[in-house]
Amino acid sequence: MKHDKLINIINELIDISEIIPRFINNFPEPYKSFGIDKYNITFRGYDKLEKFQNGLESMYKYNKEIADTWTLNKFETDFVSLIRLLKNGKGRCQSKDIELLFENFTKVEIQESEILYELYGAEMNLPKLTLGDFTVYNFDLSITELTERFPYLVHQDLYFSNRKSRYIVGIKVKARDNDKAVEIANKLCETFENVFSYMIADIKHQRTVGIFNFRGWRTTSIVVCNNNSMGFQDKNDISLPVNIDEPFFKDVSQGNDKIWPLITKTQKTEIEIRLLNAIEWIGKAIYDIDLSKSLVQFVFAIEGMLQLNEKSIITPSIVSQLSDWLAFIINDELEQRKKISKYFKDIYQKRSAIAHGAAKTIDIQDLALAMQISKLMIITFLTNKPFCDIKTMEELNKYLTNLKFK
């Protein structure tokens, strides 16, 4: 029968659900309840809740078109409605019920929306700047264009009355549900932030560009109290603006021009997926003010990019493979390769000490070195042949093995 697995999920959830006419908030076990009176459906207990959540997510992900264009919360509403309908009707789920559930979602027209966010820490002279599929608007110079495209923005005071930045970043996404459009855009903008952090590469945290994560100028006031005296200190954190229309942010020699389109590319190769993840880890490491966490995230970037089997436990042989590959990727000179390999092993040793709770002093030089070698790795994959043409880990493994034993 078509949709056998999904039918079994629905029928099991019908069997384990309860109808509780009156709301009770003192159940001794965890529960999830939907609706009231005869429209109530409740799942009580860890096992039943787990089955409900697993069933919900299985149904949601089964139809990729639905998962890509609707939120899980919206799907949950109709999913529960189907269980309620069948339970109240004493019926069992059939293929036609699954088809109708999916059809109710897929028949809604897909809309393209441009999601706008305030951008902090940036400055530019242009009315707007395109970075891949992202557009940064100088609000005062672009509001006429935006109003022509989106007439409702004529009431800009309603939508931007509390605006704190001169700059707005927009990203176009397609979805059937506004909440899903925002969910997609939020994830893309998190990557956008991490890419800026990667490119700015300021481990002293004086310059940053952000949407969700931004450190503006601030003063920390400190009072020192003891039996002999009182003291007062001010600590000022400086935030310098970043001119984002500088050519550097699209620099071909750094591969920066290739990163922005990669954020929204739908069909990424295995290497491109790893590359973007590594860039994000580097961006997070640069933004983090905890030196130990930063170092670990720089190493994550290298591991995620070069580890053959991502699920395997890191062993000395894997560390050796990572250090050798890193050296061969970054430099052609024998002595430089030896240094790079040693640098990574030293950094990895500190990463392991941090992970296992051992006391290990991390200083800014450690971070600078980790950032340098991880960024050089990224730049090589973006700009240097044959690395910029390699699509899979199998191809990379074959090339580096042949190179090593040449």
To the nearest whole number, what is the mean pLDDT of the chain?
Answer: 90
The residue type of 179 is D
pLDDT value of residue 313: 60
Q: pLDDT band for position 170 (50/70/90)?
A: very high
Nearest-angstrom CA–CA distance, 366 and 317: 23
C-alpha to C-alpha distances, 146 to 42, 173, 212, 215, nearest whole angstrom: 47, 16, 23, 28
Q: Is the pLDDT of residue 1 over 60?
A: no
Please write down the HEC assignment for all residues of 354-381: HHCCCCCCCCHHHHHHHHHHHHHHHHHH
Task: Please answer whether residues 295 and 350 qualify as being in contact, where contact means their C-beta atoms are separated by less than 8 angstroms.
Answer: yes
Please state which of the ranges 18-27, 187-196, 224-233, 382-391 shows the lowest mean pLDDT: 18-27
Task: Please answer whether residues 235 and 219 qualify as being in contact, where contact means their C-beta atoms are separated by less than 8 angstroms.
Answer: yes
- Phi, then psi, of 9 in degrees rounded to 5: -60, -50
- For residues 40-49, give the mean pLDDT: 92
- Percent of the chain residues past pLDDT 70, beyond the cut: 95
Nearest-angstrom CA–CA distance, 70 and 209: 30
63: CB partners within 8 A, 6+ apart: 102, 105, 106
**216: exposed, middle or buried (Cβ count in 10 Å: 0-12, 13-18, 19+):** exposed
- For residues 261-270, give the mean pLDDT: 96
Q: Is the pLDDT of residue 239 over 90?
A: no
What pTM does this model have? 0.89
3-state secondary structure of 31: strand
DSSP 23: -
pLDDT value of residue 359: 56
- What are the tens digits of pLDDT across the range 334-374? 899 899 999 898 888 888 888 777 656 788 888 999 999 99
| CA of residue 273 relative to chain centroid, distance | 12
- What are the tens digits of pLDDT across the range 140-152? 899 888 888 888 8
Q: Which residues of 186-202 are buried (b: 16+ CB within 10 A; e: fewer)?
A: eebbbbbbbbbbbbbee
C-alpha to C-alpha distances, 222 to 6, 215, 216, 232, nearest whole angstrom: 59, 19, 19, 6
pLDDT value of residue 83: 95
Task: Please answer whether residues 166 and 120 qualify as being in contact, where contact means their C-beta atoms are separated by less than 8 angstroms.
Answer: no
- What are the tens digits of pLDDT across the range 376-397? 999 999 999 999 999 999 999 9
**What angle, 0 to 180 degrees and rounded to 10, lies between the N-to-C axes of helices 95-106 and 72-88?**
150
**Do strands 122-123 and 242-243 pair parallel, antiparallel, or not at all (unpaired)?**
parallel
- For residues 101-123, give the mean pLDDT: 95
